[in-house]
Structure 1
Amino acid sequence: MSTVTHGMDTAAGLAAADDLTGGAAQIDALAARLDAALADFDWWGPDAERVRSEWSFTQRPHLELVAEHLSELALRLRAEADEQDRASGGTGEGGAGPTAPGAATQRGLLDRIGSWIGDRLQAGGVALGRFLGAATDLQGKIVDVLTGQRDWSVSAIAASALGTLGTALGVGANLGTGVDQRWLASGRGAAGDPVAVPTSDTGLSHRPALEQPRSLDTIMQSVTDAYANGTAEGSNGEVRIVRVDNGAGPPAYIVNVPGTETWTPSAGSMPRDLSANLHLMAGNPTAAAESVRAAMERAGIPADSPVLLVGHSQGGMITGHLATDPAFRERFNVTNMVTYGAPIDHLDVRGVDVLQMGHALDPVPRTDLEGLGTSPTPTSRHVDLPSPGAWNDVLTNHSHEAYIRSVHDALASDTPLGAELRAYQASGSMAPFLVGPGGAATAVDVPVERLPD
């Protein structure tokens, strides 16, 4: 008994070939637009040269290769359609009767080619939309500065430019893999159920016990403990929220936010990542900041309770952006903010008693170019701490644990630096956050995550 198979629908094959040719042309046009964007953008220096070189020698050839493959597939489809027409007497349709051996294989090949192309075009379209959004944001910031609509910092514009280039490279990554790699995507921030923190080390929990907040360095310890929780298997990061009850007035809350926890350009479920760094510096909404707000809601912080925001590195950027958000300030009574190793000079945090600390040789707090391009901000105190490492030991100088040791040593010293830190610690605005006689503190750890757009 013979097996009946069907040949190619040549009309559909020719239409697919036209779509492939059009797709190749769109990719070529996109590459040309990116060439022009890189050439015209006024950005110079080693970083600029590195990005342009990466584009010219790695990413652009990848786009060209994809376009070339699409063109070759279009030619193959047209040739297959012509051969099918000849085999079926020029009807332009697949025969209804037995066909030459290999027709089923031909159909399977066509299906696989169509699936391969569809995956890449769909993923590339998603990344292209992300790129166009980033380019629009960059253009808007430049126009704002030129027209005097808004005083964007140089670092914000540079971060927006880097984000635009990163999303452009993401187009190539998506086209090459057929999967959305989510390069520099934003997403949505979310928080899970709070988990009670032990008040002493009993050995029954993997969570670090709460350090009672009695000084600046013990307050900072809760950020380090949140870092430790974020390294647990299955964790996407956590925020530790400490409640201080001193008996008089409403309880006070300390919100402790760690910094960057992953450096991949793909925006995954961990919200505090490379994507968040660029978006925060550019002054754009982030899942990282949204997740901290969600964590505070989950912890049930009342609207009238004083709130101290504490953050290291990106955590400080997150707290700074939250403190400049009128909607956030209307919901939460933020009175104080302590950051260390965080670039926030470009942020205008009014009405908050801010202590901004940085090791003298830590380059990270200066990545915002110390607010270059913006008007002076009324930050309360900006303190330089002695660096624990050599000028080229970035990891030591930026370490959150090293910052705790530096503050501890300074508080105990008879130096102008120690006096300045003790003065902030003893200020009236900080009193609710330090456990006094008869007072006590409890805490919860709130898991956070990034959800897809």
Structure 2
Amino acid sequence: MTLVTHGMDVAAGLAAADTMTDGASAVRDLAARLDAALEGFTWTGPDAERVRGEWSFTRRPQLVLVAEHLSELAVRLRAEADAQEVASGGDGAPGGAAGTQGGPQGEPPEPQGLLGRIGDWIGDRLVAGGQALGRFLGAQLDLQGKVLDVLLGRGDHSVASIAASAITGLGALAGVGVNLWTGEDRRWFAEGGGRAGDPVAVPARDGGPSSRPALEQPRSLDAIMQSVTDAYTNGTTPGSDGEVRIVRVDNGGTPAYVVAVPGTETWSPSGGTMPRDLTANLQLMAGNPTAAAESVRAAMERAGIPAGAPVLMVGHSQGGMITGHLAADPAFRERFNVTNMVTYGSPVDHLRIEGVNVLQMGHSLDPVPRADLGGWQPGGLPSVGQQVELPSPGAWSDVLGNHSHEAYIRTVHDALASDSALGDRLRAYQSDPSMAPFLVGPDGSASAVDVPIGRDVPRREGT
């Protein structure tokens, strides 16, 4: 049995090598121009140090790795072209007669094929390891910046945020080993850009052609929380990376909007297309940008929430962290008129949120709201809104039951219907004038859209 092979078009191979060499030079030139751009203007302070540090220790090394990889490929292509030139007798045509493998006399393949595969194996691991190393260095720089801020009095950071930065660094370091072992970038503790898709109308009642949970009219606090649970349900459908439910309440005059954000939907350390993951938990606690928060902002834009319209942000667990992170951002508040925020099972004490009527709720035996250590920081304990402790549905060992978003709805529903001090507190918040735009009145109506969200990640070769 013969194996027909085809050699290289030497001229085309050399041209491709030249193109790769030019590309490597262009990447290096780009890195140099970006160096000059970041250093070419006056900017001082911790933000400047972090941005320039991230460039120097994370982004620039990744560009350099790309340039080196292109140069290596160019060298290999030229070597293959030279070998082809010899095999074809110097005429530049593809060598090796039909029915032969390797040289003109049907000799075995030259050792370079094996060496090339070994080189690929090593190169893949070096590139993948370099990508993870860049993330580790970025995390270390973030941790160093926070510690120096506290030591030098340049800023305050909670103990939990410093710990989250340290844990992220350890996870990224583990990712270096994983990448070196697999030869692929598994993106341990990697972030990315957030995105949002086209809004999908929510049915007014169950039983129609749509499989989406129907909108429960927001007439009470527990009904508002139900929209978060419905968004959880949508996020579990095949192919979904998560969703945000946005409810429009019209009581006459300016409509108001409820933005319902679920919590963690995957605990994988790999930063994939699902943004509400383990990585986002740590980065939100550390106070860093996340695709999870960016995707919620994008969803609000896609839903067409107008400037000036009252906005209530409600979230469970990580969803509450996301809403708190956004509500604490002056730029976000310039775009969206956030008047109220409701969180349950969420650690948000470490945030500084001003001008928003905040209600924090947590089951007494739910450990998650305490993950931020009460917001403790060297300067003291901040206070974020009204903090309401709810009776836990399970024993201290029932961590999942006490943290369940559905259990929180049942607890709030029962409390609102009870003649108790807890019921009085929840009814007081529910009847506060700031909440009136978000509760459907006698002549009001509500509609909703579900907005798919995700994280942008680089595609792997061959996918």
Does the pair score TM above 0.5?
yes
Cα deviation, residue 376, structure 1: 3.7
**2:263, 2:320 within 8 Å by CA — same for their partners in 1?**
yes
Q: Which residue of 1 aligns with 2:391?
A: 386
Match of 2:205, as an amino acid? S
Map residues 82-231 of structure 1 onto 2, 5 A cutoff.
104-231=109-236
Residues 6-36 of structure 1: CA deviation (Å, up to 9, x unaligned)? 9xxxxxxxxxxxxxxxxxxxxxxxxxxxxxx
Map residues 324-363 of structure 1 onto 2, 5 A cutoff.
324-363=328-367
Q: What is the distance in 2 between the residues matched to 1:296 and 1:228?
A: 19
Q: What is the distance in 2 between the residues matched to 1:148 and 1:100?
A: 76
1:307 and 2:301 correspond: no
Q: Which residue of 2 aligns with 1:263?
A: 267
Match of 1:241, as an amino acid? I
Q: What is the distance in 2 between the residues matched to 1:284 and 1:356?
A: 22
Q: Which residue of 2 aligns with 1:288?
A: 292
Which piece of structure 1 moves more, 404-413 or 200-209? Answer: 200-209
Q: What is the distance in 1 between the residues matched to 2:401 and 2:103?
A: 74
Cα deviation, residue 275, structure 1: 0.4
Cα deviation, residue 375, structure 1: 4.0
How high is the TM-score relative to the length of structure 1? Answer: 0.77
Match of 1:226, as an amino acid? A
Q: Which residue of 2 aligns with 1:433?
A: 438
Match of 1:441, as an amino acid? A
Match of 1:185, as an amino acid? A
Q: What is the distance in 2 between the residues matched to 1:98 and 1:345?
A: 71
Cα deviation, residue 107, structure 1: 2.1
Q: What is the distance in 2 between the residues matched to 1:303 and 1:331?
A: 6
Label 1:217 to 1:98 Cα distance change in 2 as closer, same or farther (>3 A): closer
Label 1:282 to 1:98 Cα distance change in 2 as closer, same or farther (>3 A): closer
Q: What is the distance in 2 between the residues matched to 1:376 and 1:303?
A: 33
Q: Which residue of 2 aligns with 1:94?
A: none
Cα deviation, residue 379, structure 1: 2.3
Match of 2:370, as an amino acid? R
Map residues 361-372 of structure 1 onto 2, 5 A cutoff.
361-372=365-376
Aligned residues with identical type, % of pairs: 72
Q: Secondary structure at the match of 1:203?
A: coil
**2:190, 2:271 within 8 Å by CA — same for their partners in 1?**
yes
Q: Secondary structure at the match of 1:316?
A: helix
Cα deviation, residue 102, structure 1: 7.3
How high is the TM-score relative to the length of structure 2? Answer: 0.76
Q: What is the distance in 2 between the residues matched to 1:105 and 1:276?
A: 49
Q: Secondary structure at the match of 1:450?
A: strand
Match of 2:295, as an amino acid? S
**2:365, 2:392 within 8 Å by CA — same for their partners in 1?**
yes
Q: Secondary structure at the match of 2:109?
A: helix
Q: Secondary structure at the match of 1:354?
A: strand
**1:183, 1:265 within 8 Å by CA — same for their partners in 2?**
yes
Q: CA RMSD in A?
A: 2.1
Q: Which residue of 2 aligns with 1:377?
A: 382
Q: What is the distance in 2 between the residues matched to 1:159 and 1:378?
A: 20
Residues 58-80 of structure 1: CA deviation (Å, up to 9, x unaligned)? xxxxxxxxxxxxxxxxxxxxxxx
Q: What is the distance in 1 between the residues matched to 2:107 and 2:314?
A: 68
Match of 2:210, as an amino acid? S
Label 1:433 to 1:118 Cα distance change in 2 as closer, same or farther (>3 A): same
Label 1:418 to 1:118 Cα distance change in 2 as closer, same or farther (>3 A): same
Cα deviation, residue 98, structure 1: 7.2
Q: What is the distance in 2 between the residues matched to 1:367 and 1:290?
A: 23
Cα deviation, residue 318, structure 1: 0.2
Q: Which residue of 2 aligns with 1:423?
A: 428
Q: What is the distance in 2 between the residues matched to 1:289 and 1:147?
A: 30
Cα deviation, residue 377, structure 1: 3.1
- List gaps (5 residues or longer) in structure 2: 8-101, 459-463
Cα deviation, residue 348, structure 1: 1.1
Map residues 239-254 of structure 1 onto 2, 5 A cutoff.
239-247=244-252, 249-254=253-258
Q: What is the distance in 1 between the residues matched to 2:384 and 2:161?
A: 18
Q: What is the distance in 1 between the residues matched to 2:283 and 2:207?
A: 40
Cα deviation, residue 111, structure 1: 1.2
Match of 2:359, as an amino acid? L
Q: Which residue of 2 aligns with 1:272?
A: 276
Match of 1:145, as an amino acid? V
Match of 1:294, as an amino acid? A
Q: Secondary structure at the match of 1:104?
A: coil
Cα deviation, residue 202, structure 1: 2.5
Aligned length: 361
Q: Which residue of 2 aligns with 1:412?
A: 417
Cα deviation, residue 103, structure 1: 5.9
